Each structure stands twice: as C-alpha cells, then as structure tokens.
Amino acid sequence: MTKQEILSSIIEIGIVPVVRAPSAEAAVRAVEAIYEGGIRAAEITMTVPGALRALERVADALGDKIVLGAGTVLDAETVRAAMLAGAEFFVSPGLKRETIELARRYSKVSIPGALTPTEVLAAWDAGADIVKIFPCGNVGGPKYIKALKAPFPHIEMIPTGGVNLETAGEFLKAGACAVAVGAELVDAKTLKEGRYEVITERARQFLAVIAKAREEMKSGR
C-alpha cells in the first residue's frame, strides 16, 4: 500500500483497535476476531511477548485485507523490525523524531503521541501523519479534541484513552479523524477466557457507532 492509501484507509475505517495481549497467539486471534467483526485495521503493541511474530502471522494470514500497525513503538530500531514483519503504520506514546523520519523514509505512516498544544505542533512539525492525543480521556475527552482542533484544523488527530461505545461518536463529531480503542474492545479478561466471539461482537458495535456518528455529521446533527 502507498502511504496515502494507508492514511486514507485508517481515516475511512474510523477506528484503530489497540491489541495488548499476554501472548503472540492471543494477539493474532484477537486481530482475527476484530477482522471478523468488520474492522479492517489493527495495531499490535510491542509490549506483547513475541509481538513481531504476531505481526508476521497476521500479515501472512490477512495480507492486504487489513491495515496493520505496530504500537508502543519507542525507537527507530523497532520501526524497522516491525516494518519488516509487515506493519504499515507506527504508533508511539510520545514524540521521537527518529521514528517519524524512518517511517517517512519508507513511505509508511507515523502516529506519535502528544497531549499539549505545544507537543501537538512539535509532532506535526517533525513530520507526523496523524497525531495521537494521549491520554485524552483524562483531560476532557471529546471537548479537549474540539479545543485542539480550533487552532489546528489542518492536523489529523486520533484520541486514545477514554474511547468507548458511548464516546466514540462524540470524538468524531469533535474533529477526530478516527479513534483508537484498547481495553474497551480487547480486554485481558476476555482474552484469558478465550471468548474471541465477544471481541467480534464489540467490533461490530463500534463500527455501528462510527457509522451513526458520521451519518449525523453529514445531516448536520
């Protein structure tokens, strides 16, 4: 996929599931469950034991049917390794210029984390494609995104933290290009019990919320 195709896909899908799991096997099965629920994007965090193997397995199984990303990327070496494993976008909790530069060099998508207006602008100036607003739920949720978008209408933002079935639509209406969802979609208890069908059902519910919010935005509600 080209860089523009990766970006367009993330924005069109409107949701990036964040998969934190106790094993590579659980991560792969969680992504498959998410895919079955209709979401064609997923981010496997580098905190998963054997995360690179999980990325490889998902890339092999689903190929270009899913936009696959690596999360909790803290350095350029991890970007390179995750890219070789099949990741198309890279998400960080903070701003590290070398990770952005490496992703840009290979025409991949970089999504560094920021919180304050100064950090958001620094991330954008450093070449971020989208800025992850983290931890968004702790500082006002959708209202905070709306406040940030006022001076930065040109910067695409994805909120992380505080996104659930009740707030996802509000985040989009506030100006987020998409939302990132972690434990509200893939939680430790469900993984431990192996109830992957629950994750599939939640994925469907999130997609329905996003579709409803976008329909209301079109009609001016």
> What count of residues does the chain have?
221
Tokens at 48, concatenated: 């998963």
Q: Under 8 Å CB-to-CB from 135, ≥6 apart: which residues?
A: 115, 160, 161, 162
Handedness of CA 67, 36, 48, 183 (dihedral sign): positive
Specify whether 189 is catalytic. Answer: no
Unique residue bearing structure tokens 């009609």 = 219
Q: Under 8 Å CB-to-CB from 8, ≥6 apart: which residues?
A: none
Q: Is the previous residue joined to 135 through a cis bond, with omega within 30 degrees of 0?
A: yes
* Cβ atoms 141, 166 nearer than 8 A: no
Among the listed residues 43, 88, 156, 170, the single catalytic one is 43
Specify whether 132 is catalytic. Answer: yes
Among the listed residues 32, 56, 88, 132, the single catalytic one is 132
* Cβ atoms 124, 152 nearer than 8 A: yes
Q: Describe the crossing of helices 24-36 and 196-218 by its angle, rounded to 10 degrees.
A: 50
Q: Which residues are catalytic?
A: 43, 132
